[in-house]
Amino acid sequence: MFQKPPFIIAIDGPTASGKGTLASKIAQALGFEYMDTGALYRGVAKTALDQGLDPAQEKEAVQAAHLLHKNYDLSLQNDPTIRTERVSKGASEVAAVQEVRDILFMLQQDFSTHPCAGVVMEGRDIGTVICPNADVKLFIDASSEVRAQRRFKQLKDKKIPADYEDILKQLHIRDGRDSGRSIAPTRPAEDAVILNTSTMTAQEVLERSLEIIRRKRL
């Protein structure tokens, strides 16, 4: 039914930049399929923790990645148990291991090439490593204070106790780990459109992104 390869939209950006919400809204608007690639790293960390393995130990992280690869299902990205603080920390540890990234690369590549109209993939290295030939590349950024404020509000809205200063501190630590690592650091691809969303509403970011995508799909 689908003769052409899927239209690929790569969305990268740091923690709490709003790229997840944006990516799923774009997929919905265009009828495309959506992959949250952070869920894969979270899945590896969760698998490790469930099996009594230590995500901070390279060999054990690789073992967990093999297990995840064997049992992977896209619905993992909807599992709330991969969003805990403990799993988030483990995810940023396993994400720094090249062999783990290689194992997850295959899952991501399969997704980006399977027959369908289009895919939206969101993460840290989609435009640079996973889909360097993506049709549209967006890099979603915002100041750390704005990102911390958004995360704070999200938690408050869900009635989860939260401390702004603590969130900001954790965000700096995670940014440092994700951007400072030598393997696949978070950075925009040379041909990515960078959207600094610090002063934009979520709706404005969505409209601007759809405008950019429509121009490329003409």
List residues binding ligand DC (CB under 6 A). Answer: 15, 37-38, 41-42, 91-92, 95, 123-125, 178
Residue 4: both structure tokens together? 């052409």
The least CB distance from residue 158 to ligand DC, in Å, is: 17
Q: State in angstroms the smallest separation of the CB of 165 from ligand DC.
A: 20
Distance from C-alpha of 54 to C-alpha of 188, rounded to nearest angstrom: 31
Token pair for residue 78? 């909807």
CA nearest neighbour of 105 among 125, 91, 90:
125
Nearest residue (CB) to ligand DC, 92 versus 170? 92
Of 37 and 170, the one with the shorter C-beta distance to ligand DC is 37
**Minimum distance of ligand DC from residue 20's CB (angstroms):** 7
Q: Which CB, 166 or 207, lies closer to ligand DC?
A: 166
Question: Amino acid identity of 45?
Answer: A
- For 55-92, the DSSP string reads TTSHHHHHHHHHHHHHH--GGGGG-GGGGSHHHHHHHH
Residue 135 near residue 195 (C-beta atoms within 8 A) = no
- Residue placing its CB nearer to ligand DC in the complex, 42 or 137: 42
Q: Between residues 141 and 178, which has the closer beta carbon with respect to ligand DC? A: 178
Strands 33-36 and 118-123: parallel
Whether the CB-CB separation of 18 and 202 falls below 8 Å is answered with yes
Task: Tell the smallest beta-carbon distance from residue 217 to ligand DC (Å).
Answer: 24
Q: Residue 156, SS3?
A: helix
Tell me how far, at minimum, the Cβ of 215 lies from ligand DC, in Å: 25
Helix (H), strand (E) at residue 133: none
